Structure 1
Amino acid sequence: MTGRKESKSSEPKKSKKKSKKNAEQETEDDGKPKEDIKPVSFVKMFRYATTKDRILYFIGFLGAIATGLTTPANSLIFGDLTNDMINLSGLQEQGTRYTRDDDNSNALLDAVQKFSLNNTYIAIVMLVCSYISVTCFNYAAHSQIMSIRSKFFKSVLHQDMSWYDFHQSGEVASRMNEDLSKMEDGLGEKVVIFIHFFVAFVGSLILAFIKGWQLTLVCLTSLPMTFIAMGFVAVATSKLAKQEVSIYASAAVVAEEALSGVRTVKAFEGEAKEVSAYKSKVVAAKLLNIKRNMFSGIGFGLLWFFIYASYALAFWYGVDLVIKGRHEPYFANYDPGTMITVFFSVMMGSMSIGMGSPYIEAFGIAKGACAKVFHIIEQEPTINPLEPRGKRLNEPLTKIEFRDVEFQYPTRKEIPILQKLNLTIHRGETVALVGPSGCGKSTCIQLLQRYYDPQGGDLFFNGHNIKDININWLRSRIGVVGQEPVLFGQSIYENIRYGREDATREDIEAAAAAANAAVFIKKLPKGYDTLVGERGAQLSGGQKQRIAIARALIRDPEILLLDEATSALDTASEAKVQAALEKVSKGRTTIIVAHRLSTVRRADKIVVINSGQIVESGTHQELMMLKNHYFNLVTTQMGDDDGSVLSPTGDIYKNFDIKDEDDQEIKILHEEEEEEKETTNKKKKKEKEPSPIRRAMGLNKPEWVQITIACISSIIMGFAMPVFAQLFGSIIQVMQSPDDDYVRENTNMYSLYFVIAGIVVGIATFMQIYLFGVAGECLTERLRGLLFEAMLKQEVAWFDDRANGTGSLCARLSGDAAAVQGATGQRIGSIIQSVATIVLGIALAMYYEWSLGLVAIAFMPFILVSFYLQDKLMEQENMGNAKILQDTTKLAVEVVSNIRTVVSLGREDMFHRNYVVMLTPAVEKSKRNTHFRGVVYGLARSIMFFAYTACMYYGGWRVVNRGMLFGDVFKVSEALIMGTASIASALAFAPNMQKGVTAAKSILKFLDRKPLIADKPGVSMKPWHSNGNVLFDKAEFSYPTRREIQVLKGLILAVRNGQKVALVGPSGCGKSTCIQLLQRFYDVDAGSVQIDEHDLRELSISNLRMQLGIVSQEPILFDRTIRDNIAYGDNSRIVTDQEVIESAKKSNIHQFIAALPLGYETRMGEKGTQLSGGQKQRIAIARALIRNPKILLLDEATSALDAESEKIVQEALDAAAEGRTTISIAHRLSTVIDSDIIYVFENGVVCESGTHKDLLQNRGLYYTLYKLQTGAA
């Protein structure tokens, strides 16, 4: 409480108030353009179709029209048959059995045969045209979505850097998975089905007006209300779908950040916070979707009520017209056949609108997704590398000029970075940019590559304004090595080749040799074909950096930009790489950004930048003589180094002979081993694996009341069709009576029954849609939350597997949970409804005439076989497509996350081509499968007509020869055929069902996996405070993904309470492995790691990690406020503002934060991209200090800091080390001189230990390392 009160008067609190004041202006004032996302019309959804696609759509459109016209055609011939049946049937007094002469019998059989023949023609048209329309539309949709995916990714890759400052890779992944899947749903066969229903509606209406306009108008009294209801549903769902898309995109951002920074999340016990943040997003989406289902339920409930009410009105008025037609010439055209034709036409038309309405919702969702995707595709970047215009100079780049350059980042326009900066660099010069962290050095590097354009002044190459030069050409002349090396999840060979696509094997090996990487590469089991893992995770920092240098060198660039290029290297590697860089720098312009000033002493010109301005420049000697800014930086960095202890020797590099990292820790993914384990596990599980959908639905237990009511409502909906058939059949029987009063009385009664049925069906529809919607959304929300939680619970080694890369996991997270809904919720309702219709239909058939029932039932196996074949087809397609989609999303996320590297290499088009190549097999397979899908769909649609033909033919025969009532023929046939129709309708969503089953399997695989590193049963969860004693007791360790390479070989290492201990040695020798074992990211294979004499495996993981504070070499920060990032250091409680401020002061970052307009409420950008490397590192230090850890782990904690900041932070770390144990890993030996004990690693064991002075006197490996480092200085 005290901390909170004190913080009110502090600087950040003022800025916090300022942030609230400016909150509403943020989207305008922070430089982010307000995105004007225009809605997309239905026609515009097809704007990216090719000519071939458009031809296919046109053919499919004609086919859909033809299938739609079969409905009114069927109504017409059925009306004629009904009229013939009634006119040719002579009633006995009781009206129970027919008596007729032979002529009547023959005429009746002729009428039945005529109907059967015509209906067979209709069935054939339905079969052929359904196949054509569905195949054409699906084929064109797959083609168009492929094109849209390609254009979307291409557009994303070619946006300028300011766009990336506001859009994160998680958002892009969400668009590529969820939005494009929704679009595919709205561009394929569902369009055909809707056109079919719409044409059926229009055609039926036209026929009805032709046959009897008075009755048609009465039947259509409900039409305005129907359109209002449908319009309401379409508008509401489209609006809510847009909001849902945005929310899920923000959820994807949370997931992507947490999964890509999983080591940071685990180190600071942030799993619960990340899960909570993710769940809050999906809960918001759930509430939106429940609202959408409520609107849909109301709309469709009213629709069905209006339809049944119109039935009642139609029968009441229609019978009245028929009776008048018996006596009045004006109404003579109204016979029973006309009434049936009109009624059936209006009924089938209305039903078509009702059955087509779910597709309106699908279009609404697809339109919402299209709007966002198309907006990105069509967004023109300010700086477009694809732009063909611009000069391609036919001369070497001899002169670079910054003229009065002013610059602010788009996200922080109020903060000037460069102020009237003037700098000239000539060809062949090596120019070093030095200065405090955040002074604008790296900004110069970015402006030279034209990531941004300056707000004032200009850059010139050979006197040509950079804006007039072709961007792609310019970037091809530049080689870049960044501060945090970025490698892609491919082989070492491919990663180096990204520097130059046409490079030969010899070129690549020469570049690797020049970067001092060839030796360690050749010692890898697969050499240059070794996979480096996501972001190069399978290699050490030094190895990654050298691969990045080789990649830059292979371009043979005219200009070499080195932004802290050797910061991650150990002493030995740095010396060799520095020599290599100096050698390759000759003859080309080299611009170096460096904090380690020993690396720039030989530069032709050293430029000191402070607050965005050049304060002095010259050679090392000239600047040292000035004894000003540069002199202060150098003396600060040299610190306590005693130059007299060692002096540089003549050829220090040649005589340097220590074990290289090549014999040490090399974590490479052992694919064969993993695949073998996976196959074995699958075989064991296959026998006892229960239904995935049943298990997934088990998560819906809290909603069992809603599901039960929804299931009952679905049964009622299923009964509606057979009940309708009974009422309609009874009316036909009644109309055969010549007694007008008898007909009118019974018709009024049945009309009332129709109204009652309408009320019941309307309520049941609302209950079915709304309650299944609630259950489905709760299941989706639960599955997403559980899936994300399960992912974060897995051990770190699980994330080392390339199959579990960030992009792949994000794809599963966003796609699988949503897909499960395709097999649950509304789809379950549709199945129950269809089954109820069939069951009641069969029961009625057996009751009235079992033999006729068997004729109708005989057609059902065809539909079941269709289902089976379709399911098998979809299962194979979905499993293959899901894997390819995961891989392509993984590639996309990896590329977008590292866009600066991609752009600097000019490899946007190459990655785009790779993406298209990876995606093509799935699309081609889907296209081939469209033919089978078309046959299955056509069969399912036409089977109803074939069944109708058989039933009516056989029924007519029984009417003539067995005295069966025609009304009973209709009751049996209609009840069973309506059941068949409902199955055919449900068939449209069969692909969703199969996708859901596949997704459920994938999700349950995650949920069932037990992490290999977890608390033992019965472990004490009581808060525990360590004394800070650490012991590695004969520890042996190999990484799980590479068992054959032993990293630690019986390591013995003791750290006492309060000691400052340093771990030094060549890059990759196992130092960082010790830190990871101490955090229990992995467990040792033999021996033990102990804290206070407790084996780590006996302690609660949560309690263990609470004792540790970690500052890594490449700090991972999240796109949240600075305050939230610092407070992330302790997720076990609410951290006060005052604690955040104090922690920031200790790490020398408070003044910088307080000077920002939004202070501690300033957002960091994705992975902290809005800050410089030094600023990020200091925030990471503040984050570690806020938890007041008993053991502080520093893995190159000050490597990214400038000399001045390093000294201040080092003093802060020294002060923070008081009373706690500190374990430091350092390449820069000057930072560990004051350590109580220094452990020198070699070949997985400690080869020597002692204080700095002891080790120098021993003249062993440490002496050689130190001699090399000071000699290089």
Structure 2
Amino acid sequence: IPDCLTYVSAFLFCHIFAFVLSWRLALAAIPLSVMFIVPALVFGKMMLDVTMKMIESYGVAGGIAEQAISSIRTVFSYVGENQTLKRFSTALQKTMELGIKQGFAKGLMLGSMGVIYVSWGFQAWVGTFLISEKGEKGGHVFVAGFNILMGGLSILSALPNLTAIMEASSAVTRIFEMIDRVSTIDSEEKKGKALSHVRGEIEFKDIYFCYPSRPDSPVLQEFNLTIRAGKRIGLVGGSGSGKSTIIALLERFYDPVEGEILLDGHKINKLQLKWLRSNLGLVNQEPVLFATSIKENILFGKEGASMESVISAAKASNAHDFIVKLPDGYETQVGQFGFQLSGGQKQRIAIARALLRDPKVLLLDEATSALDAQSERVVQEAIDQASKGRTTIIIAHRLSTIRTADTIAVLQAGRVIESGTHNELMEINGGQGGEYARMVELQQVTTQNDESKHSNLQTEGKRSHRMNRSVPQSPGVSFKSSTPGTPMLYPFSQGFSIGTPYSYSIQYDNDDDDSFEDNLKRPHHPAPSQWRLLKMNAPEWVRGVLGILGAIGSGAVQPVNAYCVGLLISIYFEPDTSKMKSKARVLALVFLGIGVFNFFTSILQHYNFAVMGERLTKRIREKILEKLMSFEIGWFDHEDNTSAAICARLASEANLVRSLVGDRMSLLAQAIFGSVFAYTAGLVLSWRLSIVMIAVQPLVIGSFYARSVLMKTMAEKTRKAQREGSQLASEAVINHRTITAFSSQKRMLALFKSTMTGPKQESIRQSWISGFGLFSSQFFNTGSTALAYWYGGKLLIQGLIEPTELFQAFLILLFTAYIISEAGSMTSDISKGSNAVGSVFAILDRKSEIDPETLWGSDKK
């Protein structure tokens, strides 16, 4: 908003001054200056559309790569490397073509900005007419025209800010819609009854329910079930039979469409919701932990509980013994989603959290189905101990876990079709059993098959161990072996694999060089040379030459334009009106020629550099994936080398290289050649003035550069500071059911507010520094202008410079300072591109411990 107000203010004041000085010229020139925004709108929209198509197109190629890497064992087993590479290359072809199209659109957009030079030509023609025919002053006409031009450029600069404001307004509308929305089930509602004593008897009467998103698909219909107080009931049934829905209705995440649910004879929708949930203890299939300490995670179960209560709950869930063995005990940080702990440890902490509130009803939603056999036994012991004296509802995947339940209810299509003890259900239908008996028998057969596979996997595991043994380990680096076909999940990588079971697909905006890159760029990797990168781009050398020629032309445009603007000033003060008109006509045509020349050189520059960059990107991605396909399995088992981390780098590193070659090098070449032209012209016109201006230009350039780089650095720091809050917010949204079940909304909000303190302070600090940076750049810019005019005046008095040469040299060097500042601000982007090059070559140079292309084996004796 401040930047937008600045540019809009500049637009208004420029036009006010222009009208005051020469209202006729202002009226004539305004339509042309407003046209400055047309190329940005038209071709900018084209670039945005192409960019979105590129993202969608690479999504296909990236999906092929992730599918192959996440199932690398299967690919290797079926020797599918070549087929994968062909599919990947075909998918990249469309992305490359779209990238080239984007470069062409960029050339069109920047080339069409030549309308600025055409505007100068129009002003030259109109201005001389007003001076000669209407008697206006040459100085007023020039300054009025200059203001009109600056006003048009100001509104052009305001466009990105206006777009951001519009997007923010749209976001604010959606935010306020959520804030103003009244929940049909309010967790903070104080109305309702709170029973003085709870026995734990639950009854479902004639329940009919369907989810709001699927109103035509009933989940429960005519559902009836009674659960006696203090008893254990197991719910079994196929997927979609309504087991988890029962728990969701009991927690009042939803209300039934028809029917009623009773707790000790009272309708639960008439009870105080917070009180109701305080008497229910929920443990999910996938334990939900937050990125804080073990103690804080357990305390989510009951606000304000004492440390003694936390330890007591941990002991009741068989978690205390392993917690005290951890380095920081109960203060141990569990990491995002609790990834620092094993599945069994996380589940026992989740049970401790549920037990902390001493619930009268315990809800276990497949609490052991995601665990291995050893962890399952430990957690099952904790569940058996925790369920004593409580009404316990167990949703079971493994039927052995509910064998001793007081009642087992079999659900099918939202109804109870069988109920009774294990023995009773096995003996119905004259001893032949029913649906439950069939499920038991089917699971026993599956278990026997799994045991047979386990013995085979042990043999394969030995082979895998021999393979992994050849992988060199660095100090502090551990290698983990995952089950065949299942990628390891590393929580601190760029993103989580969508193909990994029980993982969440979340990505954070991260500009840091994470552990994946660090793993690739070890000290023994030599620093990559840019020459080596250019050699990879060698097939496009013709495009490179054409692109550089375009950059040379684009670089020359600005100094030539500045030279002509300086010449225009002298024409306005030509005493002979016929000569004035004649020179103005010629100069107007020159300005028109500059605009046309700029159009074609911009297209030549950006199109050819885009071809270079896109073909290099495609080549790099193909070579990286080809190289990855040659690595040994042990490399993929490393926790840093998840499929998501690899694919994130495959996308981002190649993009950075493309940006380095296609964008940064292009603009750098343009700035270098433009500076050479400008300094040469300035020294030829007036070496005395040029030396003075060149001497102070480092201050101007340095202030602009420092502000630009500083703003980027501060923005990066702000993103880092906000990352913790974003992570917490993401966890809260993903795990909102757990937070709601434990009525922990206020606790989560307090944690979120505490994470926002740092970003708030950083933003305030950034505002002060940004303001000082803006002041410095404006001060040095104005100061250098004042110095140039003062010294130029002295040279005029001494007869060492002509007025025309003064303005020409001054304008040429002034505009050049801005160009150099803009180019200098790209150093951080170039640095990132160079780091990406190093990361790319680190992969390409790595030697596989087991080369699949080797034609002979080793015969060990």
TM-score norm. by structure 1 comes to 0.53
| Match among 425, 446, 454 for residue 248 of structure 2 | 446
Equivalent residue number for residue 207 of structure 1: 17
1: CA distance, partners of 2:730 / 2:610: 32
Equivalent residue number for residue 932 of structure 1:
769
The superposition leaves residues 1127-1182 of structure 1 with CA deviations (integer Å, 9 ceiling, x where unpaired) of xxxxxxxxxxxxxxxxxxxxxxxxxxxxxxxxxxxxxxxxxxxxxxxxxxxxxxxx
Specify which of 511, 515, 524 is matched with residue 317 of structure 2.
515
Aligned-pair identity (%): 32
Partner of residue 831, structure 2: 997
Q: Which amino acid aligns with 1:216?
A: A
Q: Counterpart in 2 of 1:1031?
A: none
More displaced 10-residue stretch of structure 1: 935-944 or 811-820: 811-820
What secondary structure does 1:859 align onto?
A: helix
Matched to 1:1001, the amino acid is N
1:549 alignment partner in structure 2: 351
Work out whether residues 362 and 391 of structure 2, in 8 Å CA contact, stay in contact via their aligned partners in 1.
yes
- What residue in structure 1 maps to residue 501 of structure 2? none
- Alpha-carbon contact 1:875-1:995 (below 8 Å) kept: no
What SS does the aligned partner of 2:194 have?
A: coil
The structure-2 alpha-carbon separation of the partners of 1:906 and 1:791, relative to structure 1 and needing over 3 Å to count, comes to farther
Change (3 A) 1:544 1:281: farther
Q: CA 1:570 to 1:981, structure 2 compared with 1: closer, same or farther past 3 Å?
A: closer
Moved more, 789-798 or 230-239: 789-798
Return closer, same or farther for 1:409/1:780 CA change in 2, 3 Å cut-off: farther
Kept in 2: contact 1:807–1:889 (CA 8 A): no
Paired residue for 1:685? 523
Q: Aligned in 2, Cα 1:591/1:731: closer, same or farther, shift over 3 Å?
A: closer
User: Structure 1 972/876 Cα, relative in aligned 2: closer, same or farther at 3 Å?
Assistant: closer
- 1:492, 1:529 within 8 Å by CA — same for their partners in 2? yes
Which of 366, 389, 401 matches 1:564? 366
Deviations 1:571-596 (A, max 9, x none): 78766655553443233221112254
> 1:673 and 2:473 equivalent?
no
Question: 1:833 and 1:422, CA in 2 relative to 1: closer, same or farther beyond 3 A?
Answer: same
Deviates more, 1:569-578 or 1:939-948: 569-578
**AA of the residue aligned to 1:389:** E
* Aligned position for 1:852: 689
Q: State yes or no: 1:964 paired with 2:798.
A: no
Does the 8 Å contact 2:194/2:271 carry over to 1?
Answer: no
Query: Do the aligned partners of residues 490 and 295 (structure 1) sit closer, same or farther apart at CA in structure 2, a change above 3 Å counting?
Result: same
1:740 and 1:607, CA in 2 relative to 1: closer, same or farther beyond 3 A?
closer
SS at match of 1:557: coil
Mapped contact 2:528–2:841 kept (Cα < 8 A)? no
In structure 2, the partner of 1:592 is 394
CA contact (8 A) 1:811 1:885 kept: no
Give the match for residue 850 of structure 2: 1016
- Tell me if the contact between 1:244 and 1:285 (Cα under 8 Å) persists in the aligned partners: yes
Render the CA deviation track for 1:450-488: whole Å, top value 9, x for unaligned.
Answer: 445545545444566656666655444322233344555
CA displacement 1:1005-1040 (0-9 Å, x = unmatched): 476258999552465489xxxxxxxxxxxxxxxxxx
Count residues in correspondence: 792
Structure 1 counterpart SS, 2:786:
helix
Structure 1 segment 522-921 matched on structure 2, within 5 A: 522-523=324-325, 527-528=329-330, 541-567=343-369, 578=380, 580-620=382-422, 623=425, 626-627=428-429, 631-632=433-434, 673-674=476-477, 685=523, 689=527, 706=543, 708-734=545-571, 736-768=573-605, 801=639, 825-866=662-703, 869=706, 873=710, 877=714, 901=738, 904-907=741-744, 910=747, 914=751, 917-918=754-755, 920-921=757-758
Deviation of 1:295 (Å): 4.6
The letter for the 1-side match of 2:230 is G
Partners in 2 of 1:884 and 1:944 — Cα distance?
Answer: 33
**Cα distance per residue 1:1092-1126 (max 9 Å; x no partner):** xx99x99xxxxxxxxxxxxxxxxxxxxxxxxxxxx
- Of 105, 124, 134, which aligns to 1:315? 124
Mapped contact 2:294–2:332 kept (Cα < 8 A): yes
Match for residue 949 of structure 1 among 774, 786, 793: 786
Gaps of 5+ in 1: 1-56, 62-191, 325-330, 643-669, 1023-1093, 1099-1273
8 Å contact kept, 1:871–1:994:
no
Letter in 2 for 1:590: T
For residue 632 of structure 1, report the CA deviation from its aligned partner.
4.2
Q: Give the structure 2 partner of residue 90 of structure 1.
A: none
What secondary structure sits across from 2:476 in the alignment?
A: helix
Q: Is the 8 A contact 1:237 1:292 kept in 2?
A: yes
Instruction: Call closer, same or farther: CA 1:716–1:814 in 2, change over 3 Å.
Output: same
Deviations 1:174-233 (A, max 9, x none): xxxxxxxxxxxxxxxxxx1x5544443443333333323333344345346445444434
* 1:396-475 → structure 2 map (5 Å cutoff): 396=197, 398-408=200-210, 416-436=218-238, 438-454=240-256, 456-461=258-263, 474-475=276-277
User: What amino acid maps onto 1:360 in structure 2?
Assistant: L
Choose the corresponding residue for 1:219, options 11, 29, 50. 29
C-alpha distance after superposition, 1:754-779 (max 9, x if no partner): 22111101223444555556666777
Highest Rg: 1 or 2? 1
1:670-704: per-residue Cα shift (whole Å, max 9, x none)?
999359x999999973995458x998888766766
CA distance in 2, matches of 1:636, 1:848: 98
Are 2:653 and 2:839, in contact at CA under 8 Å, matched by a contact in 1? no
| Contact 1:831-1:986 within 8 A present in 2 as well | yes
1:1125-1204 superposed matches below 5 A: none
Partner Cα distance (2:65, 2:431) in 1:
44
Shift of 1:954: 1.4
| SS of the residue 1:858 aligns to | helix
Out of 186, 194, 213, the residue aligned to residue 394 of structure 1 is 194
Write the distance in 1 (CA, Å) between the matches of 2:182 and 2:436: 41
Alignment correspondent of 2:151: 349
Q: What are the Cα deviations for residues 583-621 of structure 1, in whole angstroms up to 9, with x where unaligned?
A: 432332211122544543443333222332112334456
SS at match of 2:523: helix
Cα-to-partner distance string for 1:1160-1218 (whole Å, 9 max, x where unaligned)? xxxxxxxxxxxxxxxxxxxxxxxxxxxxxxxxxxxxxxxxxxxxxxxxxxxxxxxxxxx
| Matches of 2:474 and 2:330, distance apart in 1 | 16
Q: Tell me if the contact between 1:820 and 1:997 (Cα under 8 Å) persists in the aligned partners.
A: no
8 A contact 2:654–2:836 mirrored in 1: no
CA 1:569–1:519 in 2, change beyond 3 Å: closer, same or farther? Answer: farther
* Change in 2 beyond 3 A, CA 1:522/1:255: farther
Q: Which runs of 5+ in 2 are unaligned?
A: 445-472, 479-513
Describe the shift of the 1:438–1:955 C-alpha distance in structure 2 as closer, same or farther (beyond 3 A). closer
- TM-score, normalised by the number of residues in structure 2: 0.74
**Aligned-residue RMSD, C-alpha:** 5.3
**Offset at residue 564 of structure 1 (A):** 3.3
Q: Deviations over 1:267-319 (max 9, x none)?
A: 999999999999999887776676566555434433423x3223223223322
